[in-house]
Chain A
Amino acid sequence: MTTPRYAVGQRVRITDRTPPVHHRVPTYAKGKTGIIERVCGMHGQPERFVPGDGKPFRRLYRVRIPQSELWHAYEGAPGDKLDIEIFEHWLEPAK
């Protein structure tokens, strides 16, 4: 198993692309920036199950994004956040 590309606390951006196949990144989270909350291990890629077996497995992370980053006019508490699981191949480093 390779070492994780991203460490807990690192800032990452979710890439904004839409492959024409089932994938586990909702449109509202694409292009958004958050921090790595934890590393979740290796899992099959949703995009590679159709058709296929999900391989090669990719590392999954839990990414924490402030709700105010997701929604321009967010009216909830300032500390509200979304924790969402995103695969490594969907992430890029962010400042």
Chain B
Amino acid sequence: MSDTDKNLSWGPHDIGGQTAGPVDRAEHDTAYWEWQIDAMLRLTMQKGLLGDFAELRDGIERLDPDDYENLSYYERWSKSLAAALLAKGVVTQQALQDRVAMIRQRQAEQ
């Protein structure tokens, strides 16, 4: 349905009523890294580093629209979580980059 007279939306998620393709109903198993991201979010909330799911959502809604469109569910979580932890100084950009480089190298060696 594309007959809404509204076009001023807040973020790339706010698309209710816009013309869209069919819903992808394919099921997939949760990958190990996805469980890890889930666990990481719950830990950061338990430790008071992230206040509420609303904060994670806010970060997701601030993603680049192309990222929002193309990233998977837990990829969006990772990006939002990383942005929040960087903003709060819990992790440094350098530490995050080092870790990403380490994981990429490990994957390349596999």
The CA of A51 and the CA of B9, in the complex, are separated in Å by 21
The yes or no answer to B51 lying at the interface (CB within 8 A) is yes
How many A-B residue contacts, CB cutoff 8 Å? 62
Residues from chain A with Cβ under 8 Å of B6 in the complex: 27-28, 30-31
Which residues of B (46-63) have their CB < 8 Å from a CB of A? 51-52, 54-55, 57-58, 61
The yes or no answer to B23 lying at the interface (CB within 8 A) is no
The yes or no answer to A1 lying at the interface (CB within 8 A) is no
Q: By DSSP majority rule, is chain B's interface helix, strand, loop, or mixed?
A: loop
* The stretch of A2-10, A16-24, A57-65 that contacts the partner chain: A16-24
Which residues of A (1-49) have their CB < 8 Å from a CB of B? 18-23, 26-31, 44, 46, 49
Nearest CB of chain A from residue B4's CB, rounded to whole Å: 5
Count, chain B residues at interface, CB 8 A: 18
Is A22's CB under 8 angstroms from B17's CB?
A: no
Is B16's CB under 8 angstroms from A50's CB?
A: no
**Residues of A participating in the B interface, judged by any CB pair closer than 8 Å:** 18-23, 26-31, 44, 46, 49-54, 70-74
